Structure 1
Amino acid sequence: MKTATVKTWLKRCLLGGLLVAPAAHAQTDDDPYAYPEDEPGPTQEQLDEEEAYERRRRNADQVQEFRDIAEQEGEEGDFKRLAGTDDPNKGFAAELIAGALLLDSSRGRFAEPLFGMGIRATWEYGRILDIEPLREALWADLRWTFARQTDGTDFLKAGFSQHYFTIAPAYELKFGKSDFGVFGQVGGGIGYQSTFVDIDSAKTNVSGIKPVFQYGVGLRGRPRVFGDSNMRLSFRVEALGFRRGYLNDFFLGGSAGVAF
């Protein structure tokens, strides 16, 4: 009697527990577990954003590096100047000169027109100052200008040659950031004149030297020949005066050459 009673009591407890417990349902709305190798990669938009961020970071680091270099002190305690770090040009040029040389006439004319030629070397000495506005604004010429004239017959012939050797600094006003500008120039040197008279076989030569004061204005250009090359085309159009004693000679012409 006791064993049957216990079994009946256990059965009733089990049935009651099943009735009270909530029903279990399958979780059909849960997503399957995602393994690492099944995860999708970054999109193209995300890659572009990462690349843009890295580019901005590199640019910021480069700017900071230039600032650090500029703030460093030199060996003598002076700040380092970076005006010429991005310009590989040395500031030298050589040009051939040609034009009209109008000599002051001793025969009452306006002028004695001659064909003048010569050569000049230019140095942009403003680069040694390390001041950006003056780097290409200050320069100087070492110039030789020459003209010659002869007249007469086989029996009687006369002529002369005129030479100018001058050094003239100049100041150039650039057209914005272009390679062109206008300039004013003042300098000095010596003028050498040689005169000859030939009468049959007799020859007479007379020469002399006078100080010369040079002045003038002009247009100067230095465009690049190639995009990445240091060489430039250098040319000018100018009007110059040469004052020798009480005489005023003028040169109207131009020049062309190379700069580097």
Structure 2
Amino acid sequence: MKTWLTRCLVGGLLASSPALAQDDDDPYAYPEDEPGPTQQQIDEEEAAEYRRRFTDQAEEFRRVSEQEGEDGDFKALAGMDDPNKGFAVELLAGALLLSSPQGRFANTTVGLGVRATWEYGRILNIEPLREALWADVRWTFGGESDGTQFIKAGYTYHYFTIAPAYELKFGKSDFGVFGQVGGGITYVTSYVSVDNKETQVNGIKPVMQYGLGLRGRPKLTRDGNLRLALRLEAIGFRRGYLNDFFLGGSVGVAF
């Protein structure tokens, strides 16, 4: 009986299939154990984002350019990133060559003055004309006297002028050559003194100003908009049939 029962148990064990581990029995994977994106994948995603933004900007520029021709509402932006206002104030000094009533070449005296400059080309918002068109409001004066203790005479000329100018820049530098033509008035004061008894004669005459020169506006600071205003010039003042000339320069500040 025992032998038969033992044989039945052994046969049942041999006939049964072995119990194997199934896929459902794999260990649970936690989120921190999962692999993250590689550096190559990150670089590729950043490059794709950059290409997308560049394409969007190019499309926007194309659309705005087409509007300029179709709708005519494209606005020039030449002055939006320019920190300068286009104003300058300068002190001037030089030689004033006055037409001589004595038949000489000229009566030379010291000429002094002050001037204010406005670059009105900036309001046109046209890039080639922004610094090429400007105008001066100028006061120049000079005079002389001669004689003895008993009798002497003297005169002074005051030129008040407004003169627009056009400047040709030296490439992209801060220097250029200019020509200008304008007009104004000349206020003349003269006197004759005899034995300390003085007689004065004053008057006003129209005057035309014209001339050529070299102008510069180098920066004083790297980040600011303050500049050094420099100028060398040969300026003529025509009053009636007489021509006076100013040969000199000026220095000041521009902003």
Q: TM-score range by the shorter chain?
A: 0.7 to 0.9
Distance 2:147 2:41 in 1: 90
Q: How does 1:13-92 map to 2 (within 5 A)?
A: 35-38=30-33, 79-92=74-87
Matched, 1:106 2:70: no
Q: RMSD across aligned C-alpha pairs, in angstroms?
A: 4.0
Pick closer, same or farther for the CA change 1:43–1:200 going to 2, 3 Å: farther
Question: In the TM superposition, what is the alpha-carbon distance from 1:187 to its structure 2 partner?
Answer: 0.9
Q: Give structure 2 stretches of 5+ with no counterpart.
A: 22-26
Corresponding residue number in structure 2 for 1:118? 113
Question: In the TM superposition, what is the alpha-carbon distance from 1:248 to its structure 2 partner?
Answer: 1.5
Distance 1:173 1:194 in 2: 38
Distance 1:156 1:221 in 2: 46
Distance 2:246 2:39 in 1: 68
Q: Give structure 1 stretches of 5+ with no counterpart.
A: 27-31
Matched, 1:192 2:187: yes
Question: In the TM superposition, what is the alpha-carbon distance from 1:247 to its structure 2 partner?
Answer: 1.3
Q: Deviations over 1:146-171 (max 9, x none)?
A: 00212223222211101111111001
Distance 1:152 1:50 in 2: 92
Distance 1:184 1:170 in 2: 6
Corresponding residue number in structure 1 for 2:24? none
Distance 2:162 2:37 in 1: 69
Distance 1:17 1:221 in 2: 106
Matched, 1:162 2:157: yes
TM-score in terms of structure 1 length: 0.76
Pick closer, same or farther for the CA change 1:17–1:52 going to 2, 3 Å: closer
Q: Deviations over 1:97-149 (max 9, x none)?
A: 11111112222222211110101111111111111111111111111100021
Question: What SS does the aligned partner of 1:142 have?
Answer: strand
TM-score in terms of structure 2 length: 0.77
Question: What SS does the aligned partner of 1:126 have?
Answer: helix
Question: What SS does the aligned partner of 1:110 have?
Answer: coil
Question: What SS does the aligned partner of 1:133 have?
Answer: helix
Corresponding residue number in structure 2 for 1:253? 248
Distance 2:254 2:209 in 1: 23
Corresponding residue number in structure 1 for 2:123? 128
Question: What SS does the aligned partner of 2:123 have?
Answer: helix
Size of the aligned set, in residue pairs, is: 247
- The 8 Å contact of residues 184 and 216 in structure 1, kept in 2 or not, is answered as yes
Question: In the TM superposition, what is the alpha-carbon distance from 1:39 to its structure 2 partner?
Answer: 5.6
Pick closer, same or farther for the CA change 1:212–1:225 going to 2, 3 Å: same
Pick closer, same or farther for the CA change 1:253–1:82 going to 2, 3 Å: same
Corresponding residue number in structure 2 for 1:29? none
AA at the equivalent of 1:97: L
Question: In the TM superposition, what is the alpha-carbon distance from 1:93 to its structure 2 partner?
Answer: 1.3
